[in-house]
Chain A
Amino acid sequence: EPEVTQTPSHQVTQMGQEVILRCVPISNHLYFYWYRQILGQKVEFLVSFYNNEISEKSEIFDDQFSVERPDGSNFTLKIRSTKLEDSAMYFCASSRDSQNIQYFGAGTRLSVL
């Protein structure tokens, strides 16, 4: 069964460093998303991406964040200058169409020291 894959599974970085989290969505899906989950809290929406542009973003998704689909298969989330409070699980999701049934990857655990 097709699945969303995310790499790395765990990323450790120093405060102020840039990180890029990578995702390979399900191949025939057109809508892509990033969510995050701080330990012990609920899953929160960051951004959605369709037709090579951001379609929605939350207040969390400030100027430190950016997304890109550099080729036909990858979808990346970049955090320009990480803060301690960026430590969280980051989940990528994709959906095929406007029915919006979203499938999630296993996540990347980001630890900012």
Chain B
Amino acid sequence: TQLLEQSPQFLSIQEGENLTVYCNSSSVFSSLQWYRQEPGEGPVLLVTVVTGGEVKKLKRLTFQFGDARKDSSLHITAAQPGDTGLYLCAGTGAGSYQLTFGKGTKLSVIP
């Protein structure tokens, strides 16, 4: 069974600060997706990474896939209150289409 551990579980920071959240596993993933989920809504896709060592940027968000494709990180620069939400990582294993989700990091950015 593939598991994804996300840390920290909760993060509260001041507006303008930088932060990094992590997604770790002992398993290799073919691809890894980051989602953001608001209360009572479905996960909204932010980015997909597929190549070990890959880095993708989405405005102030930087996503990295580990060289061994077992871990990933999300770095937010100069966080804003609009970044508040639940950030989920989810991966697929070789030969499978099912997404395995982590429990998420709940981010609060205080104005």
Decide: A44 and B101 in contact? CB cutoff 8 A: yes
- The residues of B that contact A89 with a CB separation of less than 8 Å are 40
Decide yes or no whether A33 CB sits under 8 A from chain B.
yes
Q: How many A residues have CB within 8 A of the partner chain?
A: 28
Which of A68-76, A79-87, A95-103 lies at the interface?
A95-103
- A42, B44: Cα distance in complex, Å: 15
Which of B20-28, B76-84, B91-99 lies at the interface?
B91-99
Instruction: State the total of A-B contacts with C-beta under 8 angstroms.
Output: 60
* Chain A binding surface SS class: strand
| Interface of chain A residues 42 through 99 with chain B (CB within 8 A) | 42-45, 48, 50, 55-56, 58, 89, 91, 93, 95, 99
Answer whether A100 and B44 are a contact pair too, CB < 8 Å, given A42-B102, A43-B90: no
Greatest chain B CB density within 10 A among A31, A43, A48, A104 is at A43
* Chain B binding surface SS class: loop
A-B contact pairs, 21 of them (CB 8 A): A4-B42, A33-B97, A33-B98, A33-B99, A42-B102, A42-B103, A43-B90, A43-B101, A45-B98, A45-B99, A56-B97, A58-B98, A91-B42, A95-B97, A99-B31, A99-B50, A100-B31, A101-B33, A102-B45, A104-B44, A107-B42
Beyond the given pairs A43-B43, A102-B33, 20 more chain A to chain B contacts, judged by CB atoms under 8 angstroms and listed by A's residue number, are A33-B97, A33-B98, A35-B99, A42-B88, A42-B101, A42-B103, A42-B104, A43-B101, A48-B97, A95-B97, A99-B50, A100-B92, A100-B97, A102-B45, A102-B99, A103-B45, A105-B42, A106-B41, A107-B40, A107-B42
